[in-house]
């Protein structure tokens, strides 16, 4: 009975946090003129760059209800924090895609060679931690998918002497869809073969 109550409390918390994740609070740029890239078993993605953020659309199940996101470490490989019970891993983008689960690619608008080099260094530095959800976005003991991406961009900017918050609503939690309306990110077209 105790485990059942805990599960109900967790489910209600997730629903509450999801409902609140769409309230604008920080820098906000409503993007509405875009199309999710269709993914099927024959999709092959090219033209990605280190630092690109790849969002998978939401699914109607407890694991996929927030969407999912990973970050490119180079033109072919991404770093991913998948789910509870798993550590981060790296994988070729084309093996990471799921048939029928469309994607959106976001790119930092002010990317420079210096920023990219420091970002990659921080991606490697904070890679390999366990998966955990925390309301402290600056917690580096463990990460969840979107918190890791938010943090490596945040800390890279801080090291370079400026503030950068990619979370469009400024909440305690960073969800994958929060990146879409960030004024610092642009949606990029990608080639599919």
DSSP run (H or E) holding 152: helix 145-159
What is the architecture, at CATH level 2, of domain 2-192? Answer: Alpha-Beta Complex (3.90)
Domain ranges in the chain are 2-192
Per-residue confidence in pLDDT tens, the chain, 193 aa: 666 555 555 544 544 343 323 333 344 456 666 777 778 777 777 789 999 999 988 766 666 667 889 999 999 999 988 877 778 889 998 888 888 888 999 999 999 999 999 999 999 999 998 888 888 889 899 899 999 999 999 999 999 999 999 998 888 889 898 999 999 999 987 655 4
pTM, to two decimals: 0.80
Which distant-in-sequence residues (6+ apart) come within 8 Å of 1 by Cβ? none
What single string gives the DSSP state of each residue in 3-18?
HHHHHHHHHHHHHHHH
Q: Within 13 Å and on the Cβ side, how many CA atoms surround 168?
A: 21
Q: How many CA atoms lie within 13 A of 105 on its CB side?
A: 22
Task: Name the token pair of 47.
Answer: 């033209």
């Amino acid at each position: 009975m105790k485990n059942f109550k805990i599960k109900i409390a967790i489910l209600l918390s997730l629903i509450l946090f999801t409902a609140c994740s769409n309230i604008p609070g920080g820098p906000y740029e409503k993007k509405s003129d875009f199309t999710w890239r269709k993914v099927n078993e024959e999709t092959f993605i090219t033209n990605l760059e280190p630092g690109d953020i790849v969002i998978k659309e939401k699914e109607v199940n407890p694991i996929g209800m927030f969407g999912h996101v990973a970050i490119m470490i180079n033109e072919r490989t991404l770093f991913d924090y998948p789910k509870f019970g798993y550590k981060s891993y790296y994988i070729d983008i084309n093996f990471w895609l799921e048939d029928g689960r469309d994607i959106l690619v976001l790119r930092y608008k002010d990317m420079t060679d210096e920023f990219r080099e420091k970002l990659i260094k921080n991606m490697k530095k904070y890679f390999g931690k366990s998966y955990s959800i925390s309301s402290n976005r600056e917690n580096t003991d463990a990460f969840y998918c979107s918190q890791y991406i938010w943090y490596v961009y945040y800390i890279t900017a801080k090291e370079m002497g400026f503030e950068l918050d990619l979370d469009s609503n400024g909440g305690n939690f960073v969800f994958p869809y929060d990146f879409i309306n960030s004024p610092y990110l642009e949606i990029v077209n990608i080639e599919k073969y």
